[in-house]
Structure 1
């Protein structure tokens, strides 16, 4: 909780809400933390009474959400502009293609669907296709092409759909894969090669490791782990995150020195990763928390994958502190909508290094059937 207030604002507030005949407090007392804490408690009791008062509280007395507000606005502008670069995918296209996928696999499938967004989808696809020479991943365009092809094959006639079908068929598409990347039935005839006991063993093996052998980590192993992370679930398949990997000693120390909680052991990190979320993936601030959800899902898969490759890791908390955000943004060259989600150190574990027992909550504490 942010209880730091501007002294002038506090003094003015006290004069407004407390009669001078009732309280005569010296400026020294006003500035004391005891008075500030009491005033903070009083203001919170008022602010919680309505959304308007809560908004006024953060507008007048705390900047805790200021960076998020600006980041959301900047992200929405980037989303609206929607021009992909050689580093970015087109988030509107990814979202809508996945929406079409869900329509194709629906039981029963409707004869007509996606009429409210098929026009913007085809337009987005056409725009990206026109600049495909600079596009990051042509296989993404191939996936979009396959799904749209299937959609226009099975959907019934409708004025909007018929117009978009004609427009889509007239485009010059990128080469498609041998097997169309469209909704499919999984082969469930064979049991998975990883059983529950295997996964439980891996879960017990994965600990937050803070001590590593001082040996280089091959980048191909890190890439393998990120490949696994990329298969994690993501809302509308937007994958609004990026793994920034640092394996050069000088920059590792600069990055590792910014978050709190790394003192005393950050000097032995062979690699540090900053998981960065991108608010530009969303058209509305309603989805502003999804970067943390999707980024965390991918991070957990990443850490499990590292264990299978003989590596260990330690997730590092990233509290929302403005000074730290600015330091990281400057060092990494982040744009306004790019937010650090967490940091992850990794390397070959030191066999002599200990890990915390970290007793976990019981099943009865974590589970509740309705």
Structure 2
């Protein structure tokens, strides 16, 4: 149905008179909608379907965020955010004698909720260990003259912690174990990575996918929330079902061995100001993941996922996505067909991409 509608639109726009009328109307609308914030507001009303899915996803995510606070979960994004805020206070130079007074009680509450739910069958034990160790470090160094800090300390010390104290807390940069990868090796890996669309029929080992994800999850993320999931399909029938949805895989989806759907979770946020973080954080993780694949002899290509309502609906239905779960991109993964071609894809010159100390237009 989608392809039929697309072909009808394509055929209509091939008629010169229709195309001229369409382009004129389109430019007239953009002249108004793209000139002022008020014009953009009017456009958003008239073009309701264009942005409504994202608005719905953001509101649904906020709703789920608050509902999740009282439910048992494997991971606790609200705790992750606040613990990371504590870490930034601990490593501040110069460090303040007292900080986090406005949210330390909330943080201890979030931690206590997570500890109580820790008796469930599935918990992120490393997350709770990290939270415990950072909180212990915080109370060891902070001036507790503040009533809020004293009360939070008492509540924290009264808890029945799930593990012994560890070392999951801020540490000296000089103690980081250094790799022996130099710039030339890193550049070679980046140049080696090409978007591959033709693969050998060889099975992709799940162990290699997981190892690549170990690299991807090391990517920076806002307040250490990691607001994304990698939905991986390697069952041939499922691969074909998922890979057949995006337009970008047309013509080669039939021979993709493994397909990855990167999904951003807007229920990681209580404020719409963070609505773009899922795209930034998931993309950073995806690049690390891709390099992890390359280092193990696997190739990949990103399958573009435009915000197109019919395909959004189809993917949501196929993957049973919640309204606040947004597809960021898809990725084809496999062993490259050695006889296949890859695009040259000339990159922009550095002088085009880079500016130093330029403030004026």
TM over 0.5: yes
Alignment partners' CA distance in 2, 1:33 and 1:213: 43
For residue 47 of structure 1, what is the aligned residue in structure 2? 33
Q: 1:162 aligns with which of 150, 164, 171?
A: 150
1:19-58 paired onto structure 2 within 5 Å: 32-58=18-44
Answer yes or no: is 1:288 the counterpart of 2:275.
yes
For residue 5 of structure 2, what is the aligned residue in structure 1? none
Higher helix fraction (1 or 2): 2
1:26-175 paired onto structure 2 within 5 Å: 32-83=18-69, 88-134=74-120, 135-157=122-144, 158-175=146-163
For residue 324 of structure 1, what is the aligned residue in structure 2? 311
Aligned to 1:65, the other structure's residue is in SS state helix
Alignment partners' CA distance in 1, 2:251 and 2:341: 14
Q: How many residues matched?
A: 339
Q: CA RMSD in A?
A: 1.8
Deviates more, 1:247-256 or 1:258-267: 258-267
For residue 10 of structure 1, what is the aligned residue in structure 2? none
TM-score (structure 1 length as normaliser) = 0.88
Deviates more, 1:357-366 or 1:134-143: 134-143
Aligned to 2:113, the other structure's residue is in SS state helix
Q: Judging changes above 3 Å, is the alpha-carbon distance between structure 1 residues 322 and 270 closer, same or farther for their aligned structure 2 residues?
A: same
Q: 2:192 aligns with which of 190, 193, 205?
A: 205
Shift of 1:77: 0.8
Deviates more, 1:328-337 or 1:50-59: 50-59
Q: Judging changes above 3 Å, is the alpha-carbon distance between structure 1 residues 290 and 57 closer, same or farther for their aligned structure 2 residues?
A: same
Alignment partners' CA distance in 2, 1:322 and 1:346: 26
TM-score (structure 2 length as normaliser) = 0.90
For residue 350 of structure 1, what is the aligned residue in structure 2? 337
Shift of 1:264: 1.6
For residue 19 of structure 1, what is the aligned residue in structure 2? none
Aligned to 1:131, the other structure's residue is in SS state helix
Shift of 1:352: 1.0
Q: Judging changes above 3 Å, is the alpha-carbon distance between structure 1 residues 77 and 191 closer, same or farther for their aligned structure 2 residues?
A: closer
